[in-house]
Amino acid sequence: MSTAKKPQKAAVRREAWGRLRKLPSGRWQARYTAPDGETYSARTEDDKPLTFETKTDARVWLSAMHTKIARNEWEPPAVAAERRRAERAAEEARAIGFREYAQRWLAMVREQPNRSGKMRAAGTLRSYRSKIDGYLEPEFGDTLVRDIDADRIKKLKARLDAIPAVANLRSPNNGVTRPVIIVLMMILRQAARDGVIAAVPTVSVPAQKPVRHGPDHRPGEDVVEPQKVEELWRATAQPYAIGILLAAWCQLRRGEVLGLQRRDIEWHDDGTATLHVSRQLNANTGDYTGPKSDAGNRSLSVPKIMRDRLKEHLRDHVAPEAKAPVVPTSSRGSVPLSNTRWGYAWSDARDAVAGLPKGFRFHDLRHTGLTIFAQEGATLAELMRRGGHSDIQVVLRYQHATMERDRELADRMSDRAAAKIAAADEGPAA
């Protein structure tokens, strides 16, 4: 007979609740039946097998599990482990510093389209980076994003406001605060979406004066007589004055005026000229970008009221190169005048002309020109093409003067008809 011993089975001890089993290794295993009807052995928080050195340790763990089930706090080990992993990941995300998160945000906006479905232009991305590198990272550095609250942002705004204006020392605004705060709030809004912060701090972004008037503005209040356009042209410093005529008589937007280059003006043998609009100087980035919309790409006849002055301007103030800016920073310069510096030049010219409507804006020169164009009988389609509009509702506002003329003619018609009716009622003279 064989004297070999049979392998001993691990001892299983029944408890008041659950089971304990001593393993061949000498350690103890705890098992229990869960509310879902399944039997589970002890697991670590990372859902790995858990055994105990002593029977007492196993009993203590089993008792704690029994209490958790009684309190309705139990969940399957795999589910609990996944929840804890997600919580740790969220906590690590909330512990990210501003420098790291800002770079992550830049990478995201470079690869994803904006709300209109278009990829952001290179100039826009450079503008974002300049605000981060020049102002935001020096201010916040590795400060946790979750620690950037309203008080910290208000302190940043105060420091930005204290930076003196470079282009015009008389200006109360330096043109820095608003774009920097806008980029910061864009980053913080994404941080809220990512769960890095609970909510975006409540901070007011400095207001920007709108180009167009508000809804309470009455049509006609921002239209001036041609002689006022002439006075503004004479009051504007060179080599910037041509911008007044381009806005009024070619109905260009500010960015389109500053984005013009010598090659965009085509002269014909009969002395006429055509203006081709194909770009604008972007106020946010300082770079050339496409027009405001597809309708902004257009060709316009230069009206004879300004042809000679345009020719003289090109001769005296614009460099000979094809890409030379029509409105340069300095005569014959290669750098276009910035939107900011144009604003100062326009402000000086407007202050020098008496009798302008209160709050008259550079954009109102465009409105003036389009209104006069409408008075000459231009159709809606012709107005849309001339102004580079894609929305017919916007163009309708330029026809208010035409409607005034229509009312005048209608009243004259009424008077004439009424006079004839009255004469007929009186009968022939005795």
Distance CA 266, CA 182 (A): 40
Together in a domain, 258 and 296:
yes
What does the pLDDT read at residue 424? 80
Together in a domain, 350 and 232:
yes
pLDDT digits (tens, 9 = 90+) for 175-196: 788 889 999 999 999 999 888 8
pTM: 0.55
The residue segments making up the domain with residue 25 are: 12-84
Distance CA 119, CA 112 (A): 7
Domain assignment present for residue 51? The answer is yes
| pLDDT over 70 at 382, yes or no | yes
Domain assignment present for residue 425? The answer is no
Exposure class string for 181-199: b at 16+ Cβ within 10 A, else e: bbbbeebbebbeebebbee
Work out how many domains the chain is built from and give that number: 3
pLDDT digits (tens, 9 = 90+) for 66-80: 999 999 999 999 999
Confidence of residue 132 (pLDDT cuts 50, 70, 90): very high
Together in a domain, 325 and 231:
yes
Together in a domain, 248 and 180:
no
Together in a domain, 109 and 168:
yes
Domain assignment present for residue 324? The answer is yes
Together in a domain, 54 and 124:
no
Together in a domain, 33 and 102:
no
Distance CA 281, CA 339 (A): 8
Together in a domain, 353 and 322:
yes
